[in-house]
Amino acid sequence: MPRFAVASETGRLRELLVCPPDHYRWIPTNAVARRSLASAGPPPQAAFAAQHDELVAALAEAGATVRTLPPAPHLPYMVYTRDQAVVTPWGPVLCQLERPQRRGEYAAVLDWHAAQESAFWRKSSAGTLEGGDIHLIRPGLAAIGVSGGRTDEAGAAQLAAWLEAEGWECRVVPFDEHFLHLDLLFCMAAPGLALACEEALDDAFLAWLRDRGIRWIPFGYAEAMALAGNILALGEGRVVSSRGSTRINAALRAEGLVVLDPDLSLFAAGGGGPHCLTCPLLREGQ
């Protein structure tokens, strides 16, 4: 059995990996960060740390074991641990990051998993592949976003082939690279329930979800660019969602979900939310 295993986005979260924002800063690698840099000066480092501490406290309150990837001074976006690797039922897959500013993150991820005696199931080697584009919707069903920006067709096809060889159904989802990763437009909240930006997602993908019994709470372009649709399902009817996502948080609560809402506005301004800031390592159930 693998040391770490995840079969869905919505099983009970037992362990996850985060990276402290000791060296985090906004850099102009995506549309959200460029907009923030144009309109505001950089916040003090202590402000990033305080918000990240809120996230970690919420995760601990939910009963998850929070593990730490040591940050590197020359890799400011290492804090977004979602992208570096994705854990599957057969163990982790090492991703192939696209941006030059992030490519060096692979070394720390390899070293960390080796120290945990966690063997990689697969390593991405075709094109580019980033974890924010990978969604294990439920056991046996996955979606992989392709924008040509962060994840390209070759990277998505390689991962899809590995999953399909294990009997999974996979759909490659095209979207505009303006949105950075698919998890700005689509995230699972609970079994059978997602958040989806209908105006930016392909109609065929939405029909595919509907045919497989997945319904969603819709949100719009402005909410997508504010990272309001970027949530982390904790399992057992609980989610982490940014405090500023007031309308979506109300909609999630109306579905009977418990919403833990740390303030993550400074990370959202850099292009990431709770889904981006966390790499689930171990989940139980669906």
- Could you list the mean pLDDT of each consecutive 10-residue stretch along the chain, which spans 286 residues? 96 98 81 64 86 98 97 95 98 96 96 98 98 98 95 98 98 95 98 98 98 98 96 98 98 98 93 96 90
Cβ partners under 8 Å of residue 10, min gap 6: 138, 188, 189, 190, 191, 233, 235, 286
pLDDT for res 194: 98
Q: What is the pLDDT of residue 285?
A: 82
pLDDT of residue 42: 72
In single-letter form, the type of residue at position 42 comes to: P
> Could you please report the per-residue DSSP string of 163-211?
HHHTT-EEEEEE--GGG-SGGGTEEEEETTEEEE-TTTS-HHHHHHHHH
Return the bridge partners of 93, or none. Answer: 86, 122
How far apart (Å, rounded) are the C-alpha atoms in residues 44 and 58?
A: 22
pLDDT at 108: 97
- Neighbouring CB atoms inside 10 A of 191's CB total 18
Q: Do residues 62 and 115 make contact, with C-beta atoms less than 8 angstroms apart?
A: no
Q: Which amino acid is at 116?
A: Q
Q: What is the DSSP string of 128-143?
A: -B-GGGEEEEETTEEE
Whole-number pLDDT of residue 183: 98
For the entire predicted model, the pTM comes to 0.94
Task: Tell me the domains of the chain and their CATH numbers.
Answer: 12-284 (3.75.10.10)
Instruction: Take residue 166 and report the two structure tokens written for it.
Output: 């294990």
